[in-house]
């Protein structure tokens, strides 16, 4: 993730707000040039009383405030298990800098394992690409919704009157690559976590809600 954004020149700086990882995340991030790490201590516990995660909205707003304090002109929001694909790494900065828009949307390609993807998670029923918020100008003062700690609520941005003229739509072959289920074991682990916390008590296996998977194609490489 950090290499994809920094080494490609897409981002000047990556900010990592570690919310309590118990692996080598902090050590790895602190050893990378162009990356800053801060601790984020907010927690919300699930119905089991033992499983917890960081409250989405507060966590994201913590990062937004931090990025603004660092003097960011554009703020890019992405998950650590995702990367921009090669074309977006190469041309993403150009797209943003040459645009007069305040917001940028990009399509997210959801991988299953290392060589399959779920088209139904990236396209609507008519087969058109569905893009989500990826970046915005810092002066837009965008905030995540903190009302529900399990959701960040960015999707509420556009019904509030943002003009289409202020939105840059980035479509494939430039896209974001998301790898939430690298293995069957990881998929089962996430499934049990979401059920255990009560965040998604009716959560299904990705092969059920994701529909039929297909082999990835060349432009989807990260």
Residue 126 has pLDDT above 70, yes or no: yes
Residue 157 has pLDDT above 50, yes or no: no
SS3 44: strand
d(CA 120, CA 127): 8
Taking only the tens place, the pLDDT of each residue in 78-120 is: 988 889 999 999 999 999 999 999 999 999 999 999 999 999 9
The vertex-183 CA angle with 196 and 51, nearest 5°, equals 20
Residue 194 has pLDDT above 90, yes or no: no
Domain of 83: which CATH number? Answer: 3.90.550
pLDDT band at 146 (very low <50, low <70, confident <90, very high): confident
DSSP per residue, 83-98: EE-HHHHHHHHHHHHT
Mean pLDDT over each residue of the chain, to the nearest integer: 88
To the nearest whole percent, how much of the chain has pLDDT over 90? 59
Residue 199 has pLDDT above 80, yes or no: no
pLDDT computed for residue 198 by the predictor: 66
Taking only the tens place, the pLDDT of each residue in 160-174 is: 456 778 999 999 999
More confident: 64 or 163: 64
SS3 189: helix
pLDDT mean over 187-191: 90
pLDDT computed for residue 156 by the predictor: 45
pLDDT mean over 182-207: 83
More confident: 20 or 31: 31
Strands 176-181 and 103-112, bridge-based pairing:
parallel
pLDDT computed for residue 219 by the predictor: 97
pLDDT mean over 21-37: 89
The CA distances from residue 106 to 31, 156, 168, 182, in Å, are 29, 17, 9, 22
Domain of 33?
A: 2-220
DSSP-assigned beta bridge partners for residue 94:
none
pLDDT computed for residue 159 by the predictor: 38
- Give this prediction's pTM: 0.88
pLDDT mean over 192-205: 76
pLDDT computed for residue 160 by the predictor: 44
Could you say which DSSP state residue 219 is in? G
* Total number of domains constituting the chain: 1
């Amino acid at each position: 993730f950090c290499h994809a954004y920094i080494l490609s020149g897409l981002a000047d700086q990556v900010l990592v707000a570690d919310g309590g990882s118990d692996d080598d995340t902090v050590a790895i991030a602190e050893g990378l040039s162009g990356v800053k790490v801060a601790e984020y201590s907010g927690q919300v516990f699930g119905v089991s009383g033992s499983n917890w995660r960081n409250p989405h909205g507060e966590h994201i707003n913590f990062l937004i405030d931090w990025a603004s304090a660092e003097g960011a002109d554009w703020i890019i929001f992405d998950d650590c298990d995702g990367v921009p694909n090669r074309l977006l790494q190469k041309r993403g900065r150009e797209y943003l800098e040459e645009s007069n828009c305040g917001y940028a949307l990009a399509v997210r390609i959801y991988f299953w394992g290392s060589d399959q993807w779920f088209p139904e998670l990236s396209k609507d029923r008519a087969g058109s690409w569905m893009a989500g918020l990826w970046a915005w100008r810092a002066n837009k003062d965008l905030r995540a919704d903190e009302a529900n700690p399990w959701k960040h609520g960015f999707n509420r941005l556009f019904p509030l009157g943002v003009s289409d003229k202020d939105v840059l739509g980035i479509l494939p072959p430039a896209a974001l690559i998301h790898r939430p289920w690298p293995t069957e074991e990881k998929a089962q682990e996430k499934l049990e976590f979401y059920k255990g916390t009560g965040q998604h008590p009716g959560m299904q296996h990705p092969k059920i809600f994701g529909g039929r998977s297909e082999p990835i194609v060349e432009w989807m490489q990260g």
